[in-house]
Amino acid sequence: MSDGWNRHRAEPVAVGEQRTTRADRRRAARQARVKRRRRVALLSILMVFLVVVGVVLWTVRGSLFGDAAAPEDFASGQSGAEVVVHITGENNSDFAQNLVDAGVVKSVGAFNRAAGDKPISAGYYELRKTLPASEAVTMLVDPARSHRVGMLNVSPGAVLDDKRNKDNKVAPGIFSQLSAATAHTDGGVKKQTAKADFVKAASTASVADLGVPDWAAATVNRLKGDHRRIEGLIAPGVWDQIDPSGTPLSILKELIAASAKKYEAQGLLDASRSSAANLAPYQVLVSASIVEREVNQADDYPKVARVILNRLAKNQKLEMDSTVNYTEAVTGIDVVGEQLLKKTEWNTYAKTGLPATPIGAVGSPALVATENPAPGPWLYFVTVDSQGTTLFTDDFAQHERNRQKACDTKFLTVGCAK
């Protein structure tokens, strides 16, 4: 009995040891698997994080130090032939693509890195092919605009033809300025549209081809053969999108069509419903051009506009010196008897009514004043000093006294009492 009892007796357990059951072992295995999965997941996250950080650091390093990871760029000192590029779009990346397409810079990335936040204007530029991006940016942001082409700045009162004053100084007309705006070099060849080509296009082209608005078409048609028929149809302002390689006709058409929209936006077509009710839109523009040239103080514009309307209503000649000067090669404040007698489409001393066309580009203040003339009985005015002081009256005797004041200040010298 003692032997059988010994076989079924539990094995003694050493001090400090614990028995493990099968359930305990399964539980431990599960816990080990969970820990392994967590370690794998953490390692995966860490690897992704390290890859992202590495990419960011590499990109930043390339941007800061221009190493092999930087965008492709042309080397300095290897620029090619001249090329005119039209910079268009809404941001530097758009501008950069224009330059890449023209072969000026090598990549959009290189240009954007060189441009940073520098302001760049759209327009036409004469650059060179295969330029380092930094050099291209320097040319584009040059404050002197020495690389810009296709720019025209029309001042209020500007005329188509060159004018010489009594000091022998020549003021370039719009046609001369347009010719200068088209000057450029392309592939080593200097190109420029001659002033005479603009004159020819203005003289001979149809109203449709010139972009003339309907409200000016009748006069432009009637004066075919005379380039001055488009006078005043190019509005004041900076026109900076002129294609220097365009034809004279395409350039004039673009300017005239855009100017018509500009004038219309300033209320020209509504003029017949204003206090200038007796003038058609084109006549308002003609009248406003006289206002522009007769006085240099904007506060006087509405009064001059009223003088013109009052004289037209009385069928009285306008007798404006500015209309005489318009056709003269040499202009001046004083006009003499011989000039007053010239019978032209513009001389309002020799003809009744308005001149045939505007006598210059019309600025917004003069146009708005003509559309909204001041109320008053005035028929005469005269500027009496170099500061622009102008006196108005409806009495001719008072006008003569006012004119003598201009003689006394030496502002006028012709027709003065001795």
The kind and range of the H/E element at 184 are: strand 184-186
8 A C-beta contact, residue 339 and residue 323: no
β-pairing verdict for 163-165 and 330-331: parallel
| pLDDT value at residue 331 | 74
Compare 9 and 311 and report the one with higher pLDDT. 311
417, pLDDT greater than 80: no
All CATH 3.30.1490.480 domain ranges of the chain, comma separated, are 81-141
Start-to-end C-alpha separation, the chain: 168
Strand order in the sheet with 123-128: 82-87, 123-128, 148-149
8 A C-beta contact, residue 204 and residue 224: yes
Q: Any residues with CB less than 8 A from the CB of 127 and at least 6 apart, and which?
A: 82, 83, 84, 85, 99, 102, 104, 136, 139, 147
Give the residue-averaged pLDDT of 301-317: 96
Compare 364 and 35 and report the one with higher pLDDT. 364
**Exposure class string for 295-312: b at 16+ Cβ within 10 A, else e:** beeeebbbbbbbbbbbbb
Residue-wise pLDDT for 70-120, tens only, equals 689 999 988 999 999 999 998 999 999 999 999 999 999 999 999 998 999
For 81-141, CATH gives: 3.30.1490.480
Calculate the CA 55 to chain-centre distance.
42
Percentage of the chain beyond pLDDT 90 is 69
| pLDDT value at residue 31 | 72
341, pLDDT greater than 50: yes
The whole-chain average pLDDT of the chain stands at 87
190, pLDDT greater than 80: yes
Give the residue-averaged pLDDT of 249-256: 98
Q: Any residues with CB less than 8 A from the CB of 336 and at least 6 apart, and which?
A: 414
69, pLDDT greater than 90: no
311, pLDDT greater than 90: yes
Query: What confidence tier does 282 reach under pLDDT thresholds 50, 70, 90?
Result: very high
| pLDDT value at residue 52 | 62
| pLDDT value at residue 26 | 72
Min mean pLDDT across 9-13, 37-41, 47-51, 401-405 is at: 9-13
Min mean pLDDT across 59-68, 220-229, 274-283 is at: 59-68
8 A C-beta contact, residue 196 and residue 93: no
> What is the total residue count of the chain?
418
164, pLDDT greater than 60: yes
Distance separating alpha carbons of residues 187 and 189, to the nearest angstrom:
6
Instruction: Give the range with max mean pLDDT: 9-18, 36-45, 106-115.
Output: 106-115
